[in-house]
Chain A
Amino acid sequence: MKTTLNNKVKFYRTQQNLTQAKLGELAGITRKSVNAIETNRMVPSVILALLLANVLNMAVEKLFDIEYTNE
């Protein structure tokens, strides 16, 4: 069984009219990191995931979830 991390950071960020740079600024990371997370190039640490959820004012499991696929 293969697991993949899905994230809805972009969806909730745009919903709240935030730019990548602004979200990065609020979470204390660079715009590059936000972009890397949104495009699934980087898996954020627990601390960063919680920080992003905090900034976007929602539960972390709503922002990130695991998808199971059979191989």
Chain B
Amino acid sequence: MNNDINHEEVCVKYCRRSIQLALTLIVVTGLIAIAQLAIPGSEMLTKNLMTLLPVYLVISIIWLFRLKKKTGILNNTSVFRVVMEDELRVQSLNRAFRHSFLCVILSQIPMAYFFNVTSIISASIIQSVLTIVLGVTTFLTLFLIYDR
């Protein structure tokens, strides 16, 4: 029994780690993209950072797979299903989605005002990227907070 409980806790931890990893990746990629678009002369730096991104991605995925293998989650699909279909998780997902959607909609007002006032050339592209990054980041962050 204790073994099962440990498996469940480990599975929850594993899922949270995966989401944290995805969140980091999205934030980093988004910031690089925004910097590339908004700051003139930053092409070289952002290009170098972009080349490091696949390395980080590969290392992270290997680490996650090793963690999965080490904890034996792969062999215990029933525990994995319980964690995935857990009611708190489903409720947290729905809440996080609703709130992040609201946040994205509301953020359009200051963003539109800011890009209207400033004279950035590719304002619409930056606003699109910013919206995507903000939406995904807010969603994942809120989900991690609600699903504690």
Q: B1 contacts A30, CB within 8 Å?
A: no
Which A residues between 20 and 63 are near B, CB-CB below 8 angstroms?
A: 21-22, 24-25, 28-33, 36, 42, 44-45, 48
CB of A60 to closest CB in B, whole Å: 16
Q: B91 contacts A42, CB within 8 Å?
A: yes
A interface residue count range (under 10 / 10 to 19 / 20 to 34 / 35 or more): 10 to 19
Contact of B148 (CB < 8 Å), options: A21, A31, A32, A44: A32
Report Cα–Cα, A63/B107, bound state, in Å: 42
Q: B82 contacts A28, CB within 8 Å?
A: yes
Q: Which residues of A contact B5 (CB under 8 A)?
A: 21, 25, 31
Q: How many pairs of A and B residues are in contact by the CB < 8 Å rule?
A: 39
Q: B82 contacts A30, CB within 8 Å?
A: yes
Q: Which residues of B contact A22 (CB under 8 A)?
A: 1
Q: A42 contacts B1, CB within 8 Å?
A: no
CB of A50 to closest CB in B, whole Å: 13
Counting chain B CB atoms within 10 Å of each CB, the highest count among A29, A30, A48 belongs to A30
Q: Which residues of B contact A31 (CB under 8 A)?
A: 5, 8-9
Report Cα–Cα, A33/B9, bound state, in Å: 12
Q: Which residues of A contact B87 (CB under 8 A)?
A: 29, 33, 42, 44-45, 48
Which B residues between 70 and 103 are near A, CB-CB below 8 angstroms?
A: 82-83, 86-89, 91
Report Cα–Cα, A1/B22, bound state, in Å: 44
Q: Which residue of A lies closest to B86 (CB)?
A: A30
Does any Cβ of A come within 8 Å of B12's Cβ? yes
Interface residues of B (CB under 8 A from A): 1, 4-5, 8-9, 12, 82-83, 86-89, 91, 147-148
Interface residues of A (CB under 8 A from B): 21-22, 24-25, 28-33, 36, 42, 44-45, 48
5 shortest interchain CB distances as A-B pairs: A33-B88, A21-B5, A30-B86, A36-B88, A33-B87
